[in-house]
Structure formats: structure tokens, C-alpha cells
Amino acid sequence: MRREVIIHIPLPYYSSDQLVRTLFAHRKFHNRRGTFVPQPKLYQNIARHCLKEEPSKQNFSFLRRSLLSGLPHGTKRIFLSFAGLPNSPLEIVSEEGILPDLSVLVGRISYIFHDCDITIFVGIVNQGKLVSSLIQSNATIRASLETAALAPSIYWSDAIGACKDEYKRVRFIVWRHEESVGLWPNIIRRAAGMPESVIPPGTFDMLVQKLNDEGIKHLRSLLSRTSELSEDQVKKIIMTFLESKRFSRNLRTQIRIDGWTQDVISHFDEIYEDDVRQIYLDRDITLLGENITMREQMERCRG
């Protein structure tokens, strides 16, 4: 049986471990349905060492044995979260682009899991918000980050598209981090290989950060009474709650960097929207939750 390996490459500072924590908390449920979710503490340091610090064929073989040996009977897929790959700000954004080492990392992953189907999960972020978060985490490299942010290669679609073209059997599933809360059931469902009709366990793990107790209670009741909702319908229901003054905690992330004018912020917004559109138009990349126009649908079909 050919297994699927699902790998989440999380970004630091953006609830990077929430997905694996949600899946691991409900691992018995997922294990019974063929998705094995190992304890991340048992493999993340090993993966970081083998894939980044001391890459070699010997270490690649060791990592493979560590992850695939002794899987429970009936395992169809395994979910892994490679936290710390990338880690430092300049591993996330440099003059070479966003995630400059992504192609190298995906190549090593492809080598290790050569006999498995591979799906990479990536939550992308508005370039301006990403760079501002990195600057706030390490102000000493502000100049380098700002130079990188203004480079033409600051597109997620460039980094992901290049990997997709080079490693054709690797699939990419992408979503906007800004939409993570509304897409959370969909993201969990895709990661665990669950059918669309099922509301997955852990659906409310992200929502508790954004909705008050009353909102969580009403949403939980509504979703439990409503069957056979599509992914888009579930997202619309969740977004309605998030936009409600009654239920929402109204927490918003704003870009605040000294010296950045509204023109700079608007420039990043335009880049991001164009970037997301380029990802959508690539038929070989799955973009979750994106609302598109009929014109873009036709353009994608022609492409």
C-alpha cells in the first residue's frame, strides 16, 4: 500500500504549532481512520538535525526509519509538522525571496519519502505583515529584511511554484493565514483525509481565540444541528460569527512599523493579492477558501 505523507511547514510567530496540536489531541480518532499523528516532540528535533543541520544520506535513512517504522496497522497517511524549518527571519525572507531554502527542503523530503505520496501544507501571510512581525522579533536585521521585502522575488507563488515544477509528484495545499479561523475545519479535514460532510474534532480550537463564549456556544450548536454542509458553507457560517460584534472578540492584526507609510502598506497589500491570484491560477496548487470571479475561473481553465 502506497502511503501518503502530509507535512506542514509552519511559520514561526503565526500559531505555528496549532495544527499539529489539534490533530495530536484527537489522535485516537484519526488513528482509527487511518491517519497516524505521532507526538511531535519525538521527531521534530531529529527532523531539524537530519534535514537542516547535518543533511546526509545516512541521516535521511535514519529519519525515514524513525518516522515510518512500526506504524499502526491500517495506516494510510502520516501527518508531520516540521517546526523550525524555517526558523530564523532570514530563512523566511531574504533577498532571494520568501522561503529561499524551500526547494532544498522539499528535495530532501522527496528523497526520504520516495515511495510515498507527499503533500506539503503551507499557510501564507501578507508580505507586509510577515516582514513587520520578523522586524519586531529581531530589529537588528531590519535593513536586510526591508531590502528583501522590496525585491521582485517576494512572492509565495514563486517559491511554491518552483518546487511544484521541480518535484512534480509533491502536492501543495495552501491557505491564507488571515483566513485560518474560517478555514480551520477544512484545513483539519484535508490534513486528516476526512470527507467533506464531517465536522472534524478540533474545529473550535482556533475559534476560541476569536469568538467569545457565547459565540462558541451558538456556533457549536448550529454546526452540530446542520448536516451535509460544503466547505464553503461552513466557512461562510464561521465568518458570519467572526464579523458579529455580539460574538467576536474583535482582535485584528495591524502593521505598525516606524517609517512605514500607508503607501508602503498598500504596496504590500497589492503584492499579496496578486500573489494569491497567481497561486489560484496554478491548477497544480490547491488554494483553500479563495473566492474567485468567473473571469478568473475561465482564465484558469484556459491556462
Condensed to tens digits (0 to 9), the pLDDT of residues 44-54 reads 999 999 999 99
Rounded Cα gap, residues 100 and 83, in angstroms: 16
The set of residues, in sequence order, having a beta carbon less than 8 Å from that of 231 and lying 6+ positions away, is: 185, 186, 189, 196, 288, 289
What's the average model confidence in pLDDT over 63-82?
Answer: 94
Beta bridge partners of 8: 81, 121
Q: Which of 22-31, 67-76, 179-188, 283-292 has the lowest mean pLDDT?
A: 283-292
Return mean pLDDT, the chain. 85
Closest to 227 (Cα-Cα) out of 247, 255, 197: 197
Cβ–Cβ under 8 Å, residues 241 and 218: yes
pLDDT given for residue 63 in this prediction: 96
Q: Please, which pLDDT band fits residue 256 given cuts at 50, 70 and 90?
A: low
What's the average model confidence in pLDDT over 232-249?
Answer: 78
Q: Which is more confidently placed, 218 or 9?
A: 9
Domain residue spans in the chain? 4-195+261-302
DSSP code of 48? H
Q: Please, which pLDDT band fits residue 252 given cuts at 50, 70 and 90?
A: low
pLDDT exceeds 90 at position 195: no
pLDDT given for residue 9 in this prediction: 94
| DSSP H helices in 5-99 | 18-25, 27-32, 44-48, 57-68, 89-92
What's the average model confidence in pLDDT over 74-82?
Answer: 95
Rounded Cα gap, residues 83 and 175, in angstroms: 18
What's the average model confidence in pLDDT over 272-291?
Answer: 89
pLDDT given for residue 292 in this prediction: 45
pLDDT exceeds 50 at position 196: yes
Rounded Cα gap, residues 292 and 107, in angstroms: 32
CA atoms within a 13 Å half-sphere pointing along the CA-CB vector of 208: 6
pLDDT given for residue 298 in this prediction: 41
Closest to 68 (Cα-Cα) out of 90, 89, 43: 43
pLDDT in tens, 135-157: 877 767 777 777 777 666 789 99
In the block, which residue shows the cell 522575488?
A: 153
In CATH terms, the fold of domain 4-195+261-302 is Rossmann fold (3.40.50)
Whole-angstrom Cα Rg for the chain: 20
What's the average model confidence in pLDDT over 167-194?
Answer: 91
Q: Which is more confidently placed, 216 or 55?
A: 55
Cβ–Cβ under 8 Å, residues 16 and 86: no
Q: Please, which pLDDT band fits residue 55 given cuts at 50, 70 and 90?
A: very high
pLDDT exceeds 50 at position 283: yes
| DSSP H helices in 138-194 | 142-149, 156-166, 180-192
What's the average model confidence in pLDDT over 171-193?
Answer: 91
Over pLDDT 70: what percentage of the chain?
Answer: 88
What's the average model confidence in pLDDT over 170-187?
Answer: 90
Rounded Cα gap, residues 93 and 106, in angstroms: 17
* Cα dihedral sign, 286-287-291-292: negative
